Amino acid sequence: MFCTIVTTVSAVVPAQGIMIEGQQTTVVATQKYPPEADKLLSMRRSHTLDDDYFQRRELRIVCTQKIALDDFLPQENEIIPRLYLCDLYTATSPKVHERLGITHVLSVVRRPWFHFSESVKHMNVPIDDTSSANLLTYLDAAVAWLHRCLTSDENACVMVHCVWGMSRSASIVVAYLIAKYQMTLDGALAWCRLKRAVVRPNHGFIAQLEIYESQIRARERRKMMAKSRRNRHVLLADGSTEHVEDVLVTA
């Protein structure tokens, strides 16, 4: 007997019944839950068959089998105070925005087809979830934008999302922690996974985040060296002083 499971879902809803028609098994969702966003949004991730596609597919299967239903309802995860990481469905839900007081949204999708209210400031990073996507090009701008949002207004709440809140958007948040919280890449990944278990940047993004971490540490070293260069007076043998500029203090 050949059995086909129909798994295309346009909204995350609990299945209340199973209808068997001949040799085809169809999961029937009979209740709309949770509240719909402005539009029905597909929860499918990128269909690009890059070199870690099958690893990702296996991860989704494991999540579906072992993670509680609540983990698949629209939800946000607060990574640090006022900075949330989430999926597309959650990010486009007006009720979620109202509940959290969201003021800024950073989207990480190739072509955003959704719209936010006029009160929400929006930035988009136009990349696909593929290992060859040039994430590194956008990291400085995205991190700077997030930092301005969070520091310019103590009441600002920022949401970062891609489609699943696993790879693209998670990579942006990891970069922010590296740059502004002096975390290592491993430490930032561990922190994000502690807050949101499904965080899993693709291996191409991991490689670029390693480069970004090296760049940030190099910038920090240059800043420290610049601070150590200061004007000073040197005491001479005759008791007078001599003004010396731009002396590198190594002690």
If DSSP codes are grouped into helix, strand and coil, which group holds residue 28? strand
Residues 6+ positions from 66 with CB-CB distance below 8 Å: none
Which H or E element spans position 92?
none
For residue 43, CA distances in Å to 9, 12, 113 come to: 7, 8, 14
- Assess whether 63 carries a catalytic annotation: no
Beta strands in 55-210 (DSSP E): 76-80, 83-86, 104-107, 121-124, 158-161
Q: Are 136 and 211 in contact (CB under 8 A)?
A: yes
Which H or E element spans position 241?
strand 241-248
Q: Which of 86, 149, 162, 192 is catalytic?
A: 162
Query: Which of 41, 8, 54 has its CA nearest to residue 202?
Result: 54
Q: Give catalytic residue positions.
A: 162
